Amino acid sequence: MNVKELLLRFVPISLQQMDHVSLMDRVDTKFIGPSGLLTEILHQLVEDYKILEIDDCRLFPYKTEYFDTKGFHMYEAHQNGKLNRFKVRKREYLISGQHFLEIKFKNNKGRTIKKRITIDSTMENFNSCEQRFLKDNSPFKGEDLEPKLFNSFNRITLVGESERLTIDHDLSYTNETGMVIEFPEIVIIELKQKKYTLNSVAQKVLKKYKMRPESFSKYCLGAASLNKDIKANRLKQKFNLIKKIKSEIEN
């Protein structure tokens, strides 16, 4: 049974029905694993989670444009392990055609707070409304920021009683020079909870497959992959893990 066939076994849930787990203020726990385990993991979760469905679709393609300062201030904050750090991106949900400008803030208590506004498109320049949103919710002004990379992936969203699980795969990155980096061999799984707890079916399933929580950022992975001249020592372990997963697939 392939992934799309397996997704049909989940009970569907609409966007409106999952409002109780919107979790714009949450604790995130991330995992990296081989894409070859995806069907096995989904099979273990089908009885305990519902799946987001929009217009009969359960697998959603996303496109994201990440912004940072000229000197990669936000990237460096993550690499240096600083809390109270920000991430700025424009995201397009290809199925619904919606576009958002999003600011993610990781505070010193380890919580992720996300704020966003609907925008007309993911044009690189910030209009006056977007400028105000940035000023009100971050230390950055629109003129401080420039597009650093573009990211695309496919996402599955599973919904439990008090948590959400996003499963991203088929990751691809590109920059304005046209350089492309792809990671088809991995899945990135993110458990979003209002309050961190180990009493989660997803946690137990991922532990079963020896997937441990990782401090991880899709933006940082792409930035370090596309820009060899920026500091990436804290990502060395992640790159080694991805290299190991790729090697195991090839062998």
Q: Kindly list the domain boundaries of the chain, sorted by start residue.
A: 3-250
User: What pLDDT score was predicted for residue 25?
Assistant: 75
Return all residues near 229 (Cβ < 8 A) that are at least 6 apart: none
The predicted pLDDT at position 180 comes to 96
How many whole angstroms separate alpha carbon 102 and alpha carbon 121? 13
Q: What is the DSSP string of the chain?
A: --HHHHHTTSEEE-TTGGGGG--SEEEEEEEEEEGGGHHHHHHHHTTT-EEE-BTTB-SEEEEEEEEE-TT-HHHHHHHTT-SSEEEEEEEEETTTTEEEEEEEEE-TTS-EEEEEEEES---SS--HHHHHHHHHHSS--GGG-EEEEEEEEEEEEEE-SSEEEEEEEEEEEE-TT--EEEEEEEEEEEEEESS--S--HHHHHHHHTT---B---HHHHHHHHH-TTS--GGGHHHHHHHHHHHHHHH-
Quote the pLDDT of residue 113.
92
Could you read off the pLDDT tens digit of each residue along the chain, which spans 251 residues? 789 899 999 999 998 888 766 666 788 899 999 999 999 999 999 999 999 999 899 999 999 999 999 999 999 999 888 889 999 999 998 888 889 999 999 998 888 899 999 998 766 689 999 999 999 999 999 999 999 999 999 999 999 888 899 999 999 999 988 999 999 999 999 999 888 777 799 999 999 999 988 888 999 999 999 998 898 988 999 999 999 998 888 76
What pLDDT does residue 95 have? 84
pLDDT of residue 35: 94
pLDDT for 18 equals: 82
pTM for the full predicted model: 0.92
Beta bridge partners of 86: 105
Best CA proximity match to 144, nearest among 74, 83, 77: 74
Confidence (pLDDT) at 110:
83
Residue 20: predicted pLDDT: 65
Calculate the dihedral angle through the C-alpha atoms of 223, 229, 230, 233, rounding to the nearest 10 degrees: 100
The CATH superfamily assigned to 3-250 is Hypothetical Protein Pfu-838710-001 (2.40.320.10)
